[in-house]
């Protein structure tokens, strides 16, 4: 039996209604899907902003002292942001539109390891992750059964440790000969570069039998040459000034007002004392045939440290604070120490004095391989007076690993040892390399100096 015409019309009408609902659902899926995608992109921006602001605050050391403090101790615990939370990662996520209402969940965590990131800083808080979650209402897509969807994204920023791009860097912006190389110098820095921030026409002054190999040589000003000069690659003049790559390394932690544990100590002759961490007032003098051992720890020398004669000194791993008086070592001395940092500073009572290590000394000194002072062997207080000269001079048999960092002084580095190149980075106001000075760079060594960079990693 043939269907009635009315029945045919009803079927067609139902098909049209079904098709319309389907098309509306598809349209809703497209519109709401686009909205969800847009919300996810905005959320990712907010998560990234929060993470980057947080790690920059840690990088600059303002996370505990700024207007939006957070993570003041290590290890730190994850936390969830409130709708008016003033802590840095929360505030920046909210400025990007997320975290100001109960519809959003913003959480902050502090991972100590990140998959695929092999050069994470050894700092106590090396990374910050910010997770943003929001419930987004859907409209047309609701015809297909779902009235709300949740988006969740994460941004992670970290302190990345990388070898110094320039292992020899003069920071002075105007001095002629800010880097001066004279004599029979051999400098092999094929894994890093040389940079001279001076705008002088003779910023890089080369005189004598000079052989320089470097990854790059950049000079803000110009180059002057006299003698048998071999430089590869050709220096680039007119380059941009290089910022201090070690500016973010924190000063060693110590109590500048600590009470004296020892006063006016002097060791001379055939003695073999073992010294303990503490504050040594009136300076410490070691001479003659003394063999002195420092136990590991933090030492404060008010009035300086003096080593002479045929003394042999073993420095245990730790920090040696030269709080006025400097470090004066001369003669047929032996200096040994691994994991050590010498911090040259001063106070109102004890005036600043430079480092001076001269004579036929034997030295085997290396910087810490972890911690805040990783790679820092000799470290000058950035508030030290300008215009001093720090000296490493002599017919030395030495192995140094770490940074020689003197941002306010001229570093005079002289030697007759071309067969044992030093694995050091020199960053100073001005640099004078004299004699058979021989340098190299091996960034694979943990005690070699590195610099920190901030990066968005995940």
pLDDT by residue (tens digit) across 310-333? Answer: 999 999 999 999 999 999 999 899
198 closest CA partner among 224, 222, 232:
222
- What pLDDT is recorded for position 306? 97
Under 8 Å between Cβ of 55 and 157: yes
Cα-based angle 259, 261, 265 (whole degrees, multiple of 5) = 130
Q: In the chain, what are the domain boundaries?
A: 5-163, 244-450
357 closest CA partner among 405, 401, 316, 305:
305
How many other β-carbons are positioned within 10 Å of the β-carbon of residue 324?
Answer: 20
| pLDDT tens by residue, 66-104 | 778 888 877 789 999 999 999 999 999 999 999 999 889
Under 8 Å between Cβ of 186 and 438: yes
Which one has a higher pLDDT value, 256 or 14? 256
How many other β-carbons are positioned within 10 Å of the β-carbon of residue 253?
Answer: 10
- What pLDDT is recorded for position 11? 56
Under 8 Å between Cβ of 404 and 378: yes
Mean pLDDT across the chain, nearest whole number?
86
Instruction: Check pLDDT > 70 for residue 148.
Output: no
Q: What is the distance between the alpha carbons of residues 181 and 193, in angstroms, rounded to a whole number?
A: 15
Q: Verify cis geometry, omega within 30 degrees of 0, for the bond prior to 75.
A: yes
Under 8 Å between Cβ of 198 and 174: yes
Instruction: Check pLDDT > 50 for residue 418.
Output: no
Q: What is the distance between the alpha carbons of residues 25 and 454, in angstroms, rounded to a whole number?
A: 45
Which one has a higher pLDDT value, 398 or 217? 217
Under 8 Å between Cβ of 328 and 410: no
Could you give the count of Cα atoms lying within 13 Å of 102 in the half-sphere of its Cβ?
0
Which residues, at least 6 apart from 144, have a Cβ–Cβ distance to it below 8 Å?
A: 25, 28, 29
**Which of the residue ranges 71-75, 94-98, 297-301, 374-378 would you say has the lowest mean pLDDT?**
71-75
Instruction: Check pLDDT > 60 for residue 141.
Output: no
- What pLDDT is recorded for position 37? 80
- What pLDDT is recorded for position 145? 55
Q: Verify cis geometry, omega within 30 degrees of 0, for the bond prior to 114.
A: no
- What pLDDT is recorded for position 316? 98
| pLDDT tens by residue, 384-404 | 999 999 998 866 677 888 899
- Alpha-carbon distances, residue 35 vs 47, 131, 154 (angstroms): 18, 20, 19
Q: What is the distance between the alpha carbons of residues 443 and 450, in angstroms, rounded to a whole number?
A: 8
Under 8 Å between Cβ of 214 and 187: yes
Q: What is the distance between the alpha carbons of residues 34 and 112, in angstroms, rounded to a whole number?
A: 36
Whole-prediction pTM value? 0.77
Q: Enter the tokens of residue 448.
A: 């070699």
Axis crossing angle, helix 5-59 with helix 88-95, rounded to the nearest 10: 140
Mean pLDDT, residues 212-221: 92
């Amino acid at each position: 039996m043939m269907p009635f015409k009315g029945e045919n019309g009803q079927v067609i009408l139902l098909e049209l209604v079904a098709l319309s609902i389907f098309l509306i659902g598809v349209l809703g899926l497209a519109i709401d899907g686009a909205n969800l995608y847009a919300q996810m992109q905005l959320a990712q921006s907010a998560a990234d902003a929060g993470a980057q602001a947080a790690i920059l605050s840690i990088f600059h050391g303002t996370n505990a002292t700024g207007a939006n403090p957070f993570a003041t101790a290590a290890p730190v615990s994850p936390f969830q942001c409130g709708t008016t939370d003033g802590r840095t990662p929360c505030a920046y996520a909210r400025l990007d539109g997320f975290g100001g209402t109960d519809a959003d969940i913003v959480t902050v965590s502090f991972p100590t390891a990140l998959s695929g990131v092999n050069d994470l800083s050894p700092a106590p808080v090396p990374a910050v992750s910010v997770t943003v979650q929001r419930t987004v209402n859907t409209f047309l897509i609701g015809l297909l059964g779902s009235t709300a969807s949740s988006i969740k994204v994460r941004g992670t920023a970290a302190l990345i440790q990388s070898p110094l791009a320039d292992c020899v860097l003069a920071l002075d912006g105007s001095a002629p000969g800010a880097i001066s190389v004279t004599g029979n110098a051999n400098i092999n820095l094929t894994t890093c570069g040389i940079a001279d921030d001076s705008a002088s026409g003779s910023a890089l002054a080369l005189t004598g039998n000079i052989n320089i190999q470097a990854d790059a040589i950049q000079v803000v000003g110009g180059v002057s040459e006299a003698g048998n000069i071999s430089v590869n690659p050709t220096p680039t003049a007119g380059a941009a000034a290089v910022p201090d790559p070690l500016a973010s390394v924190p000063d060693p932690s110590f109590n500048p007002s600590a009470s004296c544990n020892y006063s006016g100590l002097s060791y001379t002759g055939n003695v073999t004392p073992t010294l303990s961490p503490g504050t040594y007032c009136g300076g410490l003098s070691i001479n003659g045939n003394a063999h002195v051992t420092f136990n590991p720890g933090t030492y404060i020398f008010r009035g300086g440290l003096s080593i002479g004669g045929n003394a042999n000194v073993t420095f245990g791993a730790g920090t040696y604070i030269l709080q006025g008086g400097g470090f004066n070592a001369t003669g047929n001395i032996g200096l040994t120490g691994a994991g050590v940092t010498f911090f040259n500073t001063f106070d109102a009572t004890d005036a600043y004095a430079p480092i001076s290590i001269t004579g036929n000394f034997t030295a085997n000194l290396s910087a810490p391989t972890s911690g805040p002072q990783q790679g820092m062997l000799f470290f000058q207080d950035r508030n030290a007076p300008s215009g001093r000269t720090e000296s490493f001079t002599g017919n030395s048999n030495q192995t140094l690993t770490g940074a020689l960092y003197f941002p306010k002084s001229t570093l005079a580095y002289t030697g007759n040892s071309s067969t044992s190149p030093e694995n050091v980075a020199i960053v100073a106001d001005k640099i004078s390399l004299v004699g058979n000075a021989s340098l190299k760079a091996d960034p694979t060594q943990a005690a070699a100096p590195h610099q920190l960079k901030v990066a968005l990693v995940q």
